[in-house]
Amino acid sequence: MTDQPILQVENLTIDYVVLDGIIKAVRNVSFTINEGEVVCLVGESGSGKTTVGLAISRALPENAIIREGRIIFKGRDLLNLEIRDKSTIEDKVMMIFQDPAATLNPLFKVGEIFSDVIKHHLKLSDQLKIREKALEFLKAVELPDPERIFNSYPHELSGGMLQRVIIAITLSVNPKLLIADEPTTMLDVTLQAQILDLLINLKKKFGLSILFITHNLSIAAEIGDRIIVMYGGEIVEEASSEELLKNPLHPYTKGLLECIPKTHIKYSKLKSIPGMIFDLRNPPLGCVFVDRCTEATDLCRKDKPRLIEFLKNHKVACHLYRGSTK
Amino acid sequence: MPFSREYIVKRLILLVFVVLGVLFITFIITRLIPARPELLWAGPHATIEQIEKARKQLHLDKPVYVQFFLYLQDFIMGNWGISWRTKSPVFTDVLSTLTATLELVIVAFFIAFIVGVLTGVIAALKKYSWIDDFIRIVTVIGASIPVFWLALIVQLVFGNWLGILPSAKRVDEWIVIVTGFKPITGFYLIDSIIQGNLAVFVDALKRIILPALVLSTYPFCLSARMTRAVMIEVFSEQHVKSLIAWGLPERTILFKYSLKNTIVPVIASLGLSFGYTIVGAFMVELVFVWPGIGFYAAMSLLSFDYPAVIGCVITVAIFYCIINTVVDLIHSIIDPRVRL
Ligand SMILES: Nc1ncnc2c1ncn2[C@@H]1O[C@H](COP(=O)(O)OP(=O)(O)OP(=O)(O)O)[C@@H](O)[C@H]1O
Ligand SMILES: [Mg+2]
């Protein structure tokens, strides 16, 4: 891991235009990912994690508008690229999603799709070479019997196998940054662990940086070098994994940590943070968490706390931590 | 094969039941119409005795249910009765007119499918543009125009006023006689090619264009609208987005991948529109003097020719079942998740 940033996101602000208004899904989000780093984006449903990922991989839906911000990947501003440059960037950002079954066209064999991708990416035309390459990648994601998988239709494979196939195809286009959007949510626990292990192995093998999106703080702690906590479209806290677990600052992060079920205490009641997220069409003037925060004051209601580096390498956006040193 | 023998057997059994049901219903309906077919059978100057004899011959003196079972018995033996109008066996009549209709319907569906899908793809690619609006207006109008009216107008404009294309019959009798053309399969376009008879082929092709175009209007509009809707839906699916992300060229994504996802529902809707199209064929054949089963059925209806009418309806019902089975088979061939 080096401290050379591969990705810098600055002031990213994204709206969704819907029939009855404008959803301010992401507001003023800034962070960096260093080369070889695994950064986890954590937050509950609707906090804008996927939207950030889609923006970076430039796959936002048509009704999304990037209001502001820059996304600098390997020194180039992705938002100001000509469309035709898209396919010519050598070092790509790739994203994998939650539902592997929806990611592959059900009418085509895995091998057919994979071959097309390799053919166009590596400019190969020899069918045998293409196949060889595909099998190589299928082996790299630790799939047993790659030959069989190559000749299977997506519906003939299990969710875990499919997710591996998708990782293999995605790796074959040689990405430098991999955005994994809850890639294990639809899988059972043992498979989850296997896929997470695989991602970490592949990271080393292929020199990847990873932005891992999850709502599960314990998964984030397990695989992330750094964790970014989002709430209601804004970043509320950011620190290295150990630091965040040991010393959470923001009341929301504290709440999230308390929600992690402690497996050694049997029959403990599952905790949750009371209250609901605000309407994203009308974000609050002050702190995003104010409605659910037990320590909220008048100031929190009126004034939005800025994300400051309260401790070394530990940023938080909360009025409780004002005596900022920097 | 993506379908099993059991499936085919099941379909055949279903076919038997459909035919029986249709047979029963048509039979009852034809007997409910207050008409006296024995007059037709006996001829214009028949005496009272002759008419009475005709009634007996046609079993019209017996109760309706007896008539039905007598008919059913004959039907199963392959004897569909003698047409009261043409005096030849209904079965042969139907067979000889069927190919004319099939040729027309196949050409019409072919046009409807190819042009409809292309139009739909263009509309989907240019959605919300003026092209899309234009296609929408045309297809809405096209789907709501009555076929017989369209047939008359097209015949009038292209056949009579502009005189571009002939607008009646399948082929010119003179050309047939001069070139010694002999139908083999009954599909003139195919027969003429087999015999290397270019003159007949060109003439038959010219003559089929107008009626086929009229007949294809409704299925064309249907498949265009269906294609647009399904394709837009497919474009929003994750598997298309991932192909884009993996860097495949647009035309591969469109023509190799997305089109395949689109085609299954389009074919299904075309299959369902078959019934409507057959009704259209009746009208079109009447207007364009096309010697098909529609023309035959219309003539039979007008002269209360019960056996002929029932024969036609049964044939159409059988084809309806066959088409639906074929649609299922196509579906199972295209979609590996479907096993019949
Ligand atoms: N295409 C869209 N059109 C309109 N609103 C959208 C769209 N996609 C997402 N949103 C809204 O934007 C907000 C953020 O959504 P996003 O998917 O980024 O959240 P998330 O953190 O990924 O949540 P989850 O954990 O449920 O995946 C949500 O309120 C969502 O309803
Ligand atoms: Mg999400």
CB contact under 8 A, B248 and A120: yes
Tell me which chain A residues have a C-beta less than 8 angstroms from the C-beta of B265.
none
* Cα A50 to averaged position of ligand 1 atoms, centre (Å): 7
pLDDT (tens digit, 9 = 90+) per residue, B249-279?
999 999 999 999 999 999 999 988 887 888 8
- The mean pLDDT value of chain B amounts to 88
pLDDT (tens digit, 9 = 90+) per residue, B71-87?
888 888 888 888 878 88
CATH number of B93-275: 1.10.3720
Q: DSSP states of B207-233 as a string?
A: HHHHHHHHHHHHHHHHHHHHHHHHHHH
pLDDT (tens digit, 9 = 90+) per residue, B49-66?
888 888 887 777 888 888
Q: Which two tokens stand for residue B141?
A: 């109008």
Q: Strand pairing partners for A229?
A: A42, A237
CB contact under 8 A, A121 and B334: no
Give the number of A-B residue pairs with CB atoms closer than 8 Å.
58
pLDDT of residue A69: 92
Residue whose CA is closest, atom 22 of ligand 1? A50
User: Is A214 near ligand 1, meaning CB less than 6 Å away?
Assistant: no
Q: What is the dihedral of CA A124, A125, A131, A137, to 10 degrees?
A: 10
A122-126, Cβ contacts within 8 angstroms, sequence gap of 24 or more: A122/A172
Q: Strand pairing partners for A309?
A: A315
d(CA B269, CA B277): 12
pLDDT of B206 > 60? The answer is yes
Task: For chain A, say whether B128 makes contact (Cβ under 8 Å).
Answer: no
Q: Which residue out of A26, A50, A182 has the highest number of ligand 1 atoms within 8 Å of its CB and is therefore the one to mutate? A: A50
| Single pTM value for the model | 0.84
Count of CB atoms situated within 10 Å of the CB of B174:
9
Task: For chain A, say whether B162 makes contact (Cβ under 8 Å).
Answer: no
Residue B110's pLDDT band, with cuts at 50, 70 and 90, is very high
Distance between terminal CA atoms of chain B? 10
Q: Strand pairing partners for A239?
A: A227, A314
pLDDT of residue A31: 95
| Strand extents, DSSP E, chain A | 5-18, 21-34, 38-42, 64-73, 76-77, 92-96, 175-181, 209-214, 226-231, 234-240, 308-311, 314-316
User: Is A280 near ligand 1, meaning CB less than 6 Å away?
Assistant: yes
Q: DSSP states of A97-153 as a string?
A: -S-HHHHS-TTS-HHHHHHHHHHHHHT---HHHHHHHHHHHHHHTT-S-HHHHHTS-
pLDDT of residue A324: 46
pLDDT of residue A112: 95
Residue B301's pLDDT band, with cuts at 50, 70 and 90, is confident
pLDDT of residue B48: 83
Q: Pick A5-321's CATH classification: 3.30.420.40, 3.40.50.300, 1.10.8.60, 3.40.50.2300.
A: 3.40.50.300
User: Is A54 near ligand 1, meaning CB less than 6 Å away?
Assistant: no
User: Is A183 near ligand 1, meaning CB less than 6 Å away?
Assistant: no
User: Is A176 near ligand 1, meaning CB less than 6 Å away?
Assistant: no
pLDDT of B21 > 60? The answer is yes
pLDDT of residue B65: 85
- Cα A187 to chain centroid distance, Å, stands at 17
Q: Strand pairing partners for B123?
A: none
Average pLDDT over residues B197-217: 91
Closest to B101 in 3D by CA, of B297, B333, B305: B297
Residue-by-residue pLDDT tens, chain A, 326 positions:
556 789 999 999 999 999 988 999 999 999 999 999 999 999 988 899 999 999 998 889 889 999 999 999 888 888 877 655 555 555 688 999 989 999 999 999 999 999 999 999 888 889 999 999 999 999 999 998 999 999 999 999 999 999 999 999 999 998 999 999 999 888 888 888 889 999 999 999 988 999 999 988 989 998 999 999 999 999 999 999 999 999 999 999 998 888 776 655 555 556 677 777 888 888 888 899 988 888 888 888 888 898 988 888 899 999 988 754 44
Tell me which chain A residues have a C-beta less than 8 angstroms from the C-beta of B256.
116
Give how far Cα B194 sits from Cα of B58, B79, B98, B184, Å. Answer: 43, 32, 20, 9
Q: What is the dihedral of CA B242, B245, B248, B253, to 10 degrees?
A: 40
Taken in order B315, B320, B323, B325, is the CA torsion positive or negative?
negative
pLDDT of residue B33: 72
Q: Strand pairing partners for A213?
A: A41, A181
Average pLDDT over residues B206-219: 93
pLDDT of residue A2: 57
Residue A321 near residue A253, CB atoms below 8 Å: no
pLDDT (tens digit, 9 = 90+) per residue, B122-167?
999 999 999 999 999 999 999 999 999 999 999 999 888 888 888 8
> Testing the interface with B: which of A86, A103, A105, A181 to mutate, by most B Cβ within 10 A?
A105
Q: In chain A, which residues touch B (CB < 8 A)? A: 57, 59, 87, 92, 94-95, 97, 99, 102-108, 113, 116-117, 120-121, 153, 155, 166, 169-170, 173
